[in-house]
Amino acid sequence: MAYCYFKGSIMDEAEASLSIHTLGVLRGFGVFDFFRMRNKKFYFLEDHLDRFEQSQKFMGLSEVISKDEIREALDMLRDWNKINDSGFKIVLLGDGNESDPELNPLLFITQSDLSNHSPAPYASVILHDYLREYPHIKTTNYLTSNLLHKKRVAAGAIDVIYHHDDLISEASRSNVFVVTDGLLSTPSSNILPGVTRKNVLNLCDGVIDVSIKDISVSEFVNADEVFICSTLKEICPIVEVDGKPIGNGTVGPLTKQVSHMFQQLVRD
């Protein structure tokens, strides 16, 4: 039995249900966030709560669910589910009728077991010309990503790298870093400000020079090293794009260094 937090209460996931008239479902009007817990400790929780609060305010609902309520719900779920290594997904949907002057927030939180999860040691990606409508917000709209699911699986790729007007932005579920001539770079615009990305930049400060700038498609495919990062992927080296090798097709030294630094951070 798995428990969730649904509309202010802890309950069995099997008992939680949404009306088929929920506007957030009918119109895809929702935001979410996702983060890890290891050994009963939440990782980067405040970063995720800050981003989720920004997403809530962007939605313009009748109220903003407080961080204190979310923290209390997370503590209760941790105690009820008793899963030491897990992922928490916080989802907020707009609820009400289209004729209402304001929509109400419908909040639920789920917890999934990640005790057997291991990030990929390296992977490949594919490219796709696409720019998310609201890239700075973590919305529930993954239509483009899902439409590309078969193509991605057929290519044996872990993710899809979005680009538009010859500029790389982000992966469908990750942020992007490239290494060219020893310089580490990451896109500066049209991206979701990833929490893992933020912590990578903090780790590199004073240790590894990082340029936050526009990155062309050509620079990406011809880079010496590429890695993507996210809550679940952590630091994932990319050795191939659209079937062609990145650099020499192996995990590069700077990627290894960043990965080692990040693993030290989460262990400590």
Q: Enumerate the domain spans of the chain.
A: 3-113, 123-267
CB 70 within 8 A of CB 179: no
pLDDT score at 203: 97
| Mean pLDDT (the chain, rounded) | 96
The owner of tokens 């989460």 is 266
Residue 217 half-sphere exposure toward CB, CA atoms < 13 A: 14
Six-digit token pair at 1?
A: 């039995």
b/e 189-225 (16+ beta carbons within 10 angstroms → b): ebbbbbbbbebbbebbeeebebeeeebebebbbebbb
Percent of the chain with pLDDT over 70: 100
Question: pLDDT digit string (tens) for 174-228?
Answer: 999 999 999 999 999 999 999 999 999 999 999 999 999 999 999 999 999 999 9
Q: Between the CA of residue 12 and those of 19, 33, 111, 143, what are the distances in Å?
A: 17, 21, 11, 29
Q: Determine the topology of domain 123-267 in CATH.
A: D-amino Acid Aminotransferase; Chain A, domain 2 (3.20.10)
Confidence (pTM): 0.95
* Average pLDDT of the segment spanning 254-262: 98
**Per-residue model confidence as pLDDT tens digits over 86-121:** 999 999 999 988 888 899 999 999 999 999 999 999
CATH number of 3-113: 3.30.470.10
Q: Which of 262, 246, 256 is nearest to 123 (CA)?
A: 246
- How many CB atoms neighbour CB 160 within 10 A? 22
Domains 3-113 and 123-267 share a fold: no
268 Cβ neighbours under 8 A, 6+ residues apart: none
Look up residue 182 and give its amino acid: G
